[in-house]
Amino acid sequence: MELGLEVDDTRPPHTVLSVTGEVDVYTAPRLREKLVELSSQGHRQIVVDLEGVDFLDSTGLGVLVGGLKRLRSNDGDLGLVCTQTRILKVFEITGLTKVFSISASVDEALAG
């Protein structure tokens, strides 16, 4: 199972991390490593684009919560891009829609 992670740092001050594939307990550690790496490189405003994600479970949610916490403690933020009902549902059930800023497109997230 492949997890795709692509970084676009051409739109400062934001860094866009596009995730594709399935995020579960097997693949989530790679997403965590990437977020830690970006934040330790000084990227403070990260937008995680989830439009290419086919599946996301609570392990993936946990990694995103951890990333948000790490960035906020450094005066940064982590925003999400997601319009897929099945992925949004996981955030809604867990109440995390109130914790994350969720945009409908990368442009909207960068403008916000």
Listing DSSP states for 22-53 in one string gives: EESTTTHHHHHHHHHHHHHTT--EEEEEEEEE
CA–CA dist 107, 103 (Å, integer):
9
User: Would you give the binding string for another protein spanning residues 20-59, x where CB under 8 A is met?
Assistant: --x-xxx----------------------------x-xxx
Give the CA distances from residue 105 to residues 83, 93, 110, in Å, rounded to whole numbers and listed in that order: 8, 22, 9
Please report whether residue 88 would count as binding another protein according to CB under 8 A: no
By the rule CB under 8 A, 81 interacts with another protein:
no
Among 10, 12, 98, 111, binds another protein (CB under 8 A): 98
Q: Which listed range, 8-16, 35-43, 82-90, 102-110, lies at the site for another protein (CB under 8 A)?
A: 82-90
